[in-house]
Chains A and B, each alone.
Chain A
Amino acid sequence: MSNKDLQRTVTVSIQRFNPDVDKKPHMQDYQVKMWPGMTILDALHEIKTHQDGSVTYRRSCRHGICGSCAMHINGRNTLACKTPIISELDQNDRVTIGPLPYLPVIKDMVVDRTSFWEQYLRVKPWLIPPENIPEREFRMSQEEVKALHDAEACIMCGACYSSCAVIGMNKKYMGPHALLKAFLRVLDPRDTAPSERLEIVSQADGVARCHTIFNCIDACPKGLNPTQAIETLRKLAQKRQKYEEAKKERQKHLNEPIPS
């Protein structure tokens, strides 16, 4: 493709909705001249600052670490800042943008994440440490850290949560984000409440509600795997007693060097 091609004008179709003035959501088209490397977020910025200041969306870091700009682009959830516009154009040079599904729309692409954060709080995301705190750091092995890598990389963007068909039908479901967080703490060797946590996720709206639809994995902009975390929690929940004992055993040696 020649450079000229990459700088042509394309159509950005945005779902608009301001509950204060609109009866229902409607699509509005904007024309944007691309530049090489332009992302969806760049296109939105161009529209908002030069064409229509009322187009509203969340954003901050521009490089996929803050999690603000998760939205629905061409039928799937992803981060606007990491999506090049050129890869999203259909045969009519059009890309379609809307808010994350299943959540109440506050304005345009800004959605009400109250239920999302409530579920996050529900799993008690903070560490519940052991009582004897050493002077120096607890010892964790490199393997233990590796097992947590997925879960700690989660930026809480909500792409997974609002792609989950279960959430679409049942707002009380904990959701992949919260369960991934719970998984982080359950597997963390320093956490002393595995039973309590497994109890929490074994509630009616916990791991049992995951139907392995796998939308979360497809949506996750960080390539994480909440479904596997949920499966692991399911298995551990079945052997709660044993897991708790294994943990207690591990915690006896938390302040000792990892043997090589």
Chain B
Amino acid sequence: MQNSKVITHDVIVVGAGLAGTWAAMTAAENGVKDVAVLSKIHPLRSHSGAAQGGIAAVLNNVRPVAGTGPRGPLEQIPPGDDPVDSFDLHMFDTIKGSDWLGDQDAIEIMVKDAPDIVIQYEHMGCVFSRTPDGRIGQRRFGGHSAPRANFSADRTGHVLLHTIHEQALLHNVKFYSEWYVMDLIIEDNIARGVVAINVLTGDIHVLRAKAVMFGTGGYGQAFKVTSNAYANTGDGVALAYRAGAPLMDMEFVQFHPTGLYRHGFLMTEACRGEGGYLINKDGERFMAKYAPDKMELAPRDLVSRSEQTEINEGRGVMEDGQGIFLDMRHLGREKILERLPEVRDLAIAFAHVDPIDDPVPIQPTAHYSMGGVPTTVDGEVLANANGDLITGFYAAGEVSCVSVHGANRLGTNSLLEASVFGRRAGRAIAEFIKGGAKLYPISGDPAKKNTDYVTELFNNDGEELVEDIVQDLKATMTNKVGIFRNDEDLKSALNDIHQLQQRFKNIRIMDKSSRFNTNLSMTLEARNLLTFSEVIVAGALNRTESRGAHSRTDHPKRDDENWLKHTMAHKDEDGRPKLSYKDVTLYWDRFPPQERKY
């Protein structure tokens, strides 16, 4: 902490997953020489790499075999034959999946950019699974009316991440690996830089830039059972919020139906896409009750709610009745080995069952954060519900809320979102820089402010261990702000969080060394968890309807008249979330709101 420097770059990107790396590479490709990416873990460890199932795009490579029904086999489309998929269909599926909260202009852009970006990945060297005639393989996915999940076995995210990282290296993007960003500097609505800890040495530096971009990912670690990595602590949303940027639609947290029981690890939706069944204690495919048409391939919020209902009504499996079985035995050995090898490996390693021979125990798991920092379709961060921008601040990927997923995200649309809007943000940043963006001065001494804060944390020899506070937060969020919410639970949750924030003042950090202090970074992450969790609860409490992933037992219906709008949350002077609302962009003539049934 002794050697604080001021480092300057044209562009600073925080987060080296798909969104951040696309933005950095695209900016570099478009003439910005000085792009730096900061990541608190090595770029290749980013959680984008954990995505499994596929990336959605209307490529029309594959169609269902005629006459075999919605779960039948797929075949490649012979050249010249009619396509089965269209932009309109992809749009409609996404809009319906979002329960009509998605901004349709943004969805249109994403859907239309999709084929190009998937092809670009392939041209950059991504190894996709293929159809017999050599085209990119596609499979079915929940909520999609046509097979448009372009996949690479069940490690699509992994291959995309490695490919884009290699390309960024080729374009001489500079990576600051294991630098933890702890503060964002916004003054007079202009983003000026960040403050980061070089984890290796413990030194805290100020990094100035003409443009700052956040690709920091989601915040599943606020929950007990989550598919998210330890790293997904919502640092980006917390930093942006504390720096004065709004957060949008935070109450919409997606619970993925098939997380491995107890651990929460993702068992890709493709398990169901390839034909897997969900079975309750009585051996029945209970989805017939909740989504007779799409069955297991209904959108995630619906399936999770169905599972949770089965569990709550006593038809769950495993000793505590909190599980559901995912049965893939009928898929056959060959298909599982070829298309779902990673998932099989997980089941064997962590649940001690082989999906070839036995059903796999799963449960709903906190998976994706629909909410985040609101942006335009070019990744520019909004300052308020009126659409004013924060100059020089960009965001894309899970940390952002454009919004393309609205109240619930369809699978394979996240890899797509991160790639499309990461690229668009990169272009927008390049335009901004080439158009004469300035390097604004930073007032005060943010290095000292943050160093003092860290010193204060070190010297604060309180009685609480950070982990205990985090575990209590996770319990609150999972039990009271989970799949089914109600007024009483949410109010209680808000209370819990305020108490936890108080308790946080009494913590003790055990490791006070400066070298590679992950005790410190975990503490700062905990602070972030407490910050944005409050915003989630506030939004959920105020939204007296059920829409998409936000399900209230005391307000079970969707209420378009009062609630067809985005929640915006700003931090007020007392540090509490102040809510306002923003309209949803709808094409009333093309995709008017409908009842959402599957």
Chain A interface residues toward B at CB < 8 A: 18-21, 37, 39, 48-50, 52-54, 56-68, 82, 106-107, 110, 113, 121, 125-127, 129, 133, 135-142, 145, 148-149, 152-153, 155-156, 184-185, 188, 190-191, 257-258, 260
Could you tell me if A63 and B50 are in contact, using CB atoms closer than 8 angstroms?
yes
Give 26 A-B contacts (CB < 8 Å), ordered by A residue. Answer: A39-B350, A48-B518, A49-B466, A50-B465, A52-B511, A53-B510, A54-B513, A57-B518, A60-B229, A63-B50, A65-B342, A66-B47, A125-B166, A129-B123, A129-B125, A135-B119, A136-B135, A137-B122, A139-B130, A140-B128, A142-B132, A152-B127, A153-B153, A155-B49, A188-B127, A258-B134
Taking the closest CB of chain A, its distance from the CB of B158, in whole angstroms, is 6
A130 to B, closest residue via Cβ: B123
Is B454 interfacial (CB-CB < 8 Å)?
no
Could you tell me if A52 and B510 are in contact, using CB atoms closer than 8 angstroms?
yes
Known: A49-B465, A60-B41. A18 touches B513 (CB 8 A): yes
- From B118, B265, B342, B511, contact of A62 by CB (8 A): B265
A141: chain B residues at CB < 8 Å are 130, 134
Taking the closest CB of chain B, its distance from the CB of A155, in whole angstroms, is 7
Interface residues of B in 346-400 (CB under 8 A from A): 346, 349-350
A50: chain B residues at CB < 8 Å are 465, 467
B65: chain A residues at CB < 8 Å are none
Could you tell me if B511 and A149 are in contact, using CB atoms closer than 8 angstroms?
no
A152 to B, closest residue via Cβ: B127
B345: chain A residues at CB < 8 Å are 64
Could you tell me if B349 and A82 are in contact, using CB atoms closer than 8 angstroms?
yes
Known: A54-B519, A65-B49, A137-B136. 5 other contacts (CB 8 A): A37-B350, A62-B263, A66-B47, A139-B130, A140-B130
Is B515 interfacial (CB-CB < 8 Å)?
yes
B69: chain A residues at CB < 8 Å are none
Is B124 interfacial (CB-CB < 8 Å)?
yes
Cα A21 to Cα B200 in complex, Å, equals 15
A184: chain B residues at CB < 8 Å are 127
User: How many pairs of residues, A versus B, come closer than 8 Å at their CB atoms?
Assistant: 168
B513: chain A residues at CB < 8 Å are 18, 20-21, 54
- From B153, B163, B166, B466, contact of A149 by CB (8 A): B153
Could you tell me if B158 and A65 are in contact, using CB atoms closer than 8 angstroms?
yes
Cα A184 to Cα B466 in complex, Å, equals 44
B578: chain A residues at CB < 8 Å are none
- From B47, B129, B162, B467, contact of A49 by CB (8 A): B467
- From B46, B346, B516, B519, contact of A64 by CB (8 A): B346
Cα A107 to Cα B158 in complex, Å, equals 28
Taking the closest CB of chain A, its distance from the CB of B170, in whole angstroms, is 5
Could you tell me if A257 and B133 are in contact, using CB atoms closer than 8 angstroms?
yes
Is B167 interfacial (CB-CB < 8 Å)?
yes
B127: chain A residues at CB < 8 Å are 140, 145, 148, 152, 184, 188
For the complex of A and B, the 8 pairs showing the least CB-CB separation, nearest first, are A127-B125, A53-B510, A139-B134, A49-B467, A53-B519, A258-B134, A54-B511, A126-B166
A53: chain B residues at CB < 8 Å are 509-511, 519
Taking the closest CB of chain B, its distance from the CB of A142, in whole angstroms, is 5
Cα A64 to Cα B52 in complex, Å, equals 13
A113: chain B residues at CB < 8 Å are 42
Could you tell me if B262 and A56 are in contact, using CB atoms closer than 8 angstroms?
no
Cα A162 to Cα B556 in complex, Å, equals 56
B131 to A, closest residue via Cβ: A142
A68: chain B residues at CB < 8 Å are 41-42, 45
Cα A20 to Cα B159 in complex, Å, equals 38
Is B86 interfacial (CB-CB < 8 Å)?
no
Cα A49 to Cα B263 in complex, Å, equals 18
Cα A18 to Cα B119 in complex, Å, equals 47
A190: chain B residues at CB < 8 Å are 125
Could you tell me if A48 and B122 are in contact, using CB atoms closer than 8 angstroms?
no
Could you tell me if A20 and B515 are in contact, using CB atoms closer than 8 angstroms?
yes
Taking the closest CB of chain A, its distance from the CB of B461, in whole angstroms, is 13
Cα A125 to Cα B164 in complex, Å, equals 11
B134 to A, closest residue via Cβ: A139
Is B558 interfacial (CB-CB < 8 Å)?
no
Taking the closest CB of chain B, its distance from the CB of A225, in whole angstroms, is 15
B509: chain A residues at CB < 8 Å are 53
Known: A60-B45, A126-B167. A145 touches B128 (CB 8 A): yes
Cα A65 to Cα B124 in complex, Å, equals 22
Cα A233 to Cα B516 in complex, Å, equals 38
B43-58 vs A, Cβ < 8 Å mask (1 yes, 0 no): 0111101100000000
Could you tell me if B155 and A65 are in contact, using CB atoms closer than 8 angstroms?
yes
A255 to B, closest residue via Cβ: B134
Cα A106 to Cα B200 in complex, Å, equals 8
Could you tell me if B515 and A18 are in contact, using CB atoms closer than 8 angstroms?
yes
Could you tell me if A66 and B125 are in contact, using CB atoms closer than 8 angstroms?
no
Could you tell me if B510 and A61 are in contact, using CB atoms closer than 8 angstroms?
no
B126-157 vs A, Cβ < 8 Å mask (1 yes, 0 no): 01111011111000000000000000110100
B266 to A, closest residue via Cβ: A63
Cα A82 to Cα B200 in complex, Å, equals 26
